[in-house]
Amino acid sequence: MMKTFTLSLGLLSGLVALSLAQDTTTPNLASASADDKATIAQLTDVAPATVGDLNITNIVVTTVLSGIDFSSLGGDTATTAFEGMAQMADTSTTNATTDTGTSRKRAVANSGSIDVHAHAVFPWYGLLVPKTGGETTPQWSVESHLQFMASENISHTILSPSAPGANVFLGSQAATIALARLLNINLAVLSAFYPDKFSWYAVVPLPYTTAAIAEATFALDTLGATGLILYSNYEGLYLGDPVLAPFFTYLQSHSKKTVVFVHPTEPVLRQNNGTTFVDCNPTSYPSGIAESYFEMARTLQDMSWTLGVVNYTQITYVISNLGGGFTGIMDRMLKTIITSDPLLEPVYRTRFYWDSAGPTYPNQIQGVLGYGIPTSQFVFGTDYPFSTPAEASSNLQGITTDTNSQIVPAIPAILRSNAAGVFSF
């Protein structure tokens, strides 16, 4: 059942006209269908009208009139999400930023760590994805995340949706597009309420490249995303697949260099020309334990084998979990495509930034150092809340107590300044 709304369509038209008075690019509400007007009224009745300079009314109207169908998500998902955004206004302890939109600059504290790998698990999203990586999706709240940050001296976090991001309804283009937009709006609102604490990576509805380009443009240029999160595969297509090439070509042509966070997701077997999909975790163990590392190896090999990481020079990559299992196969791959060896290794040492999420120090890092990757390319990540506070604290201690002669002098940079440089904080 859809929830009833109290805002009359006549009053809605007046409010929307007022909010859009200075925006001549927004479609005219008068041309909207009755269903679209009802959806707009439903959502604007519960959503905050503005957050900082994010005009949520405008965003809702633009989204619905562009053909994005929130009803494809089922039930009251969109309404519940916008209600949650309004509730943030009641709990936020900071003033919403007035520097959102196309600006990505943040008033980040000049001390404390910067966490480049953490997740927002909005309650409405947790209902759609009750399990992640084969285990129960953890509960999350803004308040608990802020408490965790304070306990570990983390001054700023770059949030992203947990896997599978917008790809919950495999094979449904409409639902994937709608979920990407809803997640991005929610992340933008959260970041606007806590601009000194949170930035965010936007999700895109790949493998649908035209829609993904449109969503990336909207997220980066209108909502103020700091970068994009790309998952290891999209409906079974890994990131070097030629089907996805138009999206990377778009990023290459974007007016600003884009930071892309590469993160594992569930392996999926694509069948019947992309109409059916099979879970491909070959073991009974939760995929978050080991399969996620193999996913990182697969997609980074795919991106390397096709030379995408070489050719798309406008993209900087943050690599989850020190690349997972990638360094274990890197020599074998490079020696197989030996003519590309001189091209690939400089990318790994300059445009790849390897995050520490998980128990990656002091042992796993040795494999990355073995390839001559300098400590300037190492950044800090917690994977909270998928790493519990105790696990994240232990993983952080793995960095701060590492006795490697290369790591010790680089610890302050790993925890903060390397990331500050990547994101221009």
Regions in the chain scoring below 70 on pLDDT = 1-27, 93-107, 338-341
Residues 63 and 121 in one domain: no
Give the pLDDT confidence score for residue 9 in this predicted structure.
47
Give the pLDDT confidence score for residue 107 in this predicted structure.
66
The verdict on residue 92 lying in a domain is: no
Residues 43 and 175 in one domain: no
Measure CA 420 to chain center: 18
Residues 210 and 336 in one domain: yes
The verdict on residue 87 lying in a domain is: no
Q: What is the pTM of this model?
A: 0.91
The verdict on residue 122 lying in a domain is: yes
CA distance 234 to 232: 7
Residues 368 and 261 in one domain: yes
Domain CATH number, residue 248 = 3.20.20.140
Give the pLDDT confidence score for residue 101 in this predicted structure.
45
The verdict on residue 81 lying in a domain is: no
Residues 234 and 355 in one domain: yes
Give the pLDDT confidence score for residue 342 in this predicted structure.
84
What residues are paired with 318 via a beta bridge?
A: 261, 353
- How many Cβ atoms sit within 10 Å of the Cβ of residue 42? 24
Decide if 212 contacts 242 (C-beta within 8 A).
Answer: no
Hunting for tokens 């996805």 — which residue is that? 244
CA distance 331 to 177: 38
Give the pLDDT confidence score for residue 156 in this predicted structure.
98
Residues 402 and 340 in one domain: yes
101 to each of 200, 215, 258, 274, 322, how far by Cα in Å? 13, 14, 16, 36, 32
The verdict on residue 72 lying in a domain is: no
The verdict on residue 285 lying in a domain is: yes
- 3-class SS at 340? helix
Residues 57 and 121 in one domain: no
Residues 158 and 47 in one domain: no
Give the pLDDT confidence score for residue 403 in this predicted structure.
97
The verdict on residue 88 lying in a domain is: no
Give the pLDDT confidence score for residue 339 in this predicted structure.
64
Residues 47 and 123 in one domain: no
Full domain range(s) for residue 221:
113-423
Cα-atom radius of gyration of the chain, to the nearest Å?
21
Give the pLDDT confidence score for residue 259 in this predicted structure.
98
- DSSP state for residue 244 in the 8-state scheme: G
Residues 122 and 37 in one domain: no
Residues 60 and 121 in one domain: no
CA distance 350 to 392: 27
The verdict on residue 86 lying in a domain is: no
DSSP annotation string for 82-139:
HHHHHHHHHH--SPPPS--TT-------SSSEEEEEEEE--HHHHHH-SEETTEEPPP
Residues 277 and 341 in one domain: yes
pLDDT in tens, 148-157: 999 999 999 9
Q: How far apart are the first and last CA of the chain?
A: 45
Decide if 353 contacts 319 (C-beta within 8 A).
Answer: yes
Decide if 251 contacts 244 (C-beta within 8 A).
Answer: no
Number of domains in the chain: 2
